[in-house]
A and B are shown apart, each in its own frame.
Chain A
């Protein structure tokens, strides 16, 4: 029966972690972007309302339901 055997092949290349200090500004940018978009797709003119009317709500309506956000 053939079996799974370990073997040593050369030296493995391992990644060096990116320092948190270099990640932070990009993480902040991505997080802000995510909050703004999630707010407008998920909650504007539903639970909260920055703009009057319901055009934002109606435009993203099907997406809001299908992406799992609470709606009416």
Chain B
């Protein structure tokens, strides 16, 4: 097993994770997006009752339903957004996340005490999910269409990626400290100290960084909750499939390497 095989296995695992996430998103994410767009259109309706008929004509051509940017939608329909568009996003993101997890697993293998490559890969995937998905989800939960202000998109993007970066750097710091502790002491202590370092860093960022509170009070709470949970389930599905497939591929490659070693030893003993 080398860095290249870890990367390729990661890309494959992530691609499959993205495909499954697409299917899951259709079930648990799309209904809430449709509901949110319906809320937006209902709110917008009184303002353009006069042009409503024109809007309808456009609907026949399939353009008017993609929400929010009024008339400048460029002909992409809701069906395209919820079908091939969504699949493009989940598969591409899944593949690159898989590549990163694969490389991180290649780095971790052989560097976590006596853990096997399969165990370190599972650990990397689990930690990755917490750092990349769960922590940002808790601090800056995703919002459905029609709940954010276009004016603050720059600020919200900076906060989201800033928190994500802090979360990832906190993992790096936790691992560095844990490895220091591990030298000569118990794996339990190293893990506990590492976890504490991560929680401390992310906890401070969580408390200090500005909140985002833009969802209008009139927006239906159930739709918001359904969307946020749907988003979490979609991403959990991506990471779960990524982890299961990648550990499977790493397991197969590792067992092959171990068998080769045994065979070489047996040959050398002759």
Contact = CB atoms under 8 A, between A and B. Distances in A.
Interface string A32-60: 01100110110100110000011100111
Given A67-B235, A69-B142, A53 B82 contact: no
A contact patch SS = helix
B117 A64 contact: no
A30 B157 contact: no
B94 to A, nearest CB: 9
Contact of B82 (A22, A37, A47, A62): A62
B73 A58 contact: yes
A38 B82 CA distance: 19
Interface string B1-18: 111101100100000000
A12 interface: yes
Candidate in B93, B111, B157 with the most chain A CB atoms within 10 angstroms: B93
A59 B76 contact: yes
Contacts, number: 178
Contacts of A61: 66, 76, 81, 85, 145
Interface in B101-131: 102-103, 106-107, 109-111, 114, 116-117
A67 to B, nearest CB: 6
A54 B230 contact: no
A8 interface: no
Q: Which residue, B10, B117, B143, B227, has most C-beta atoms of chain A within 10 A?
A: B143
A68 interface: yes
Given A15-B116, A34-B96, A64 B89 contact: yes
Given A37-B92, A70-B148, A72-B150, A23 B103 contact: yes
A45 B3 CA distance: 35
Interface string B53-90: 00000000000001011001110100011100110111
Contacts of B154: 47
Interface stretch (B133-141, B170-178, B199-207, B215-223): B133-141
Interface string B237-270: 0000000000000000010001001000000000
Per DSSP, chain B at the interface is helix
A56 B212 CA distance: 25
Nearest to B159: A70
A66 B86 contact: yes
A4 interface: no
Given A18-B106, A34-B99, A66-B29, A59 B140 contact: no
Nearest to B230: A66
Contact of B81 (A17, A26, A59): A59
Interface of A: 12-18, 20, 22-23, 25-27, 29-31, 33-34, 37-38, 40-41, 43, 46-47, 53-55, 58-72
What are the 8 A-B residue pairs with the smallest beta carbon separation, nearest first? Answer: A63-B89, A17-B110, A47-B157, A15-B110, A70-B156, A58-B76, A30-B99, A34-B96
Given A46-B153, A65-B29, A65-B142, 5 more contacts: A18-B106, A30-B99, A34-B96, A58-B73, A67-B234
